Amino acid sequence: MSSSTIQVKASTSPVGQVSTSGLVWQMARRDILTLFRTPWIIISRSMAFIIQLFVFAYFISGLVNYPGFFEYYAVGSVVAMVASISFIIGYDIFEEAEEGLLDYLLTLPVSRRQFIIGRALGGAVRSMIYIIPMFIIVALLEKFVNPVSIIAAVLDLFLLAFGVTGLSITMAVTVRSANRFDVTLALLDLAVTRVSTALYPLTKLPLYVRPIAPYSPVTFASTTVYDALVLTSLNAADLAGLIAFVAVFIVLGATIYFRRLEGGVYA
């Protein structure tokens, strides 16, 4: 049986051929549906975003000495939220392994490669589903109307979501203890968003953070999104950085996940 096509018995149709992309989509679809079965996560993250923007950013922008800080923070908070939400897939993968659900998933007629890519894609797509209402709020608030800029910004956000999903999967299959995984992921989330220029301008970051911040994936995304939406221009250098981040962590996450699945810790 080739790796590109596998025979599956679907619930709605008799035995048939399903293409690689079809199987990848089925894996992704499962993760997306999981999102809608757990509305609590959507509620808590939306609540966090709204309070962060309409309480914290509103009051702080009245105190800071930086013109247009609210607009800067509003765009950055969407980017930071995408990164934050994309980390959730790691929790799912960790819990599946802990609860024994992974054993069942591995018996499904889906190749390992399709399984892994599907999980990463599902994680990224559901992050985008999460973030779209928040993105619309910011777009309406800041009057972003250029459709090309909006499409470019959404694509940048998707790239970030895809890369962070890979990073999260890498962590989920590397860290063994539940408590350790919980705090490590929280630290990673905090580090990639705070040590970046998403929420605060580079010139206002402490001197010891300024040399590192431009290389954070969240910085790459926030710069490209900000340039697309506010300056209506394309930042090729940061876009290249973002693509490199995605490539590295999707490959790394997939490779480590694959190794762990085959006779690794889950065996």
CB of 59 to other proteins, least distance (A): 5
CB of 74 to other proteins, least distance (A): 16
State which residue, 84 or 224, has the beta carbon closest to other proteins.
84
State which residue, 48 or 132, has the beta carbon closest to other proteins.
48
State which residue, 162 or 200, has the beta carbon closest to other proteins.
200
Is the CB of residue 141 less than 8 Å from the CB of residue 221? no
Nearest to 163 by CA among 219, 237, 234, 97: 219
Residues that bind other proteins (CB under 8 A): 38, 40-41, 43-45, 47-48, 51-52, 55-56, 59-60, 62-66, 69, 95, 98-99, 177-180, 182-184, 186-187, 190-191, 194-195, 200, 204-206, 208-209
69-86 and 178-194 helices cross at what angle (nearest 10)? 150
CB of 119 to other proteins, least distance (A): 19
d(CA 1, CA 265): 27
State which residue, 43 or 237, has the beta carbon closest to other proteins.
43
List CB contacts of 221: < 8 A, sequence separation 6 or more: 79, 82, 83, 156, 157, 159, 160, 198, 238, 242
Is the CB of residue 124 less than 8 Å from the CB of residue 86? yes
Kindly tell me the sign of the dihedral angle through the C-alpha atoms of 102, 108, 114, 117.
negative
CB of 263 to other proteins, least distance (A): 25
List CB contacts of 207: < 8 A, sequence separation 6 or more: none
Tokens of 38: 């757990």
State which residue, 147 or 206, has the beta carbon closest to other proteins.
206
CB of 178 to other proteins, least distance (A): 7
CB of 187 to other proteins, least distance (A): 5
State which residue, 29 or 194, has the beta carbon closest to other proteins.
194
Q: What is the dihedral of CA 3, 261, 100, 83, to 10 degrees?
A: -90
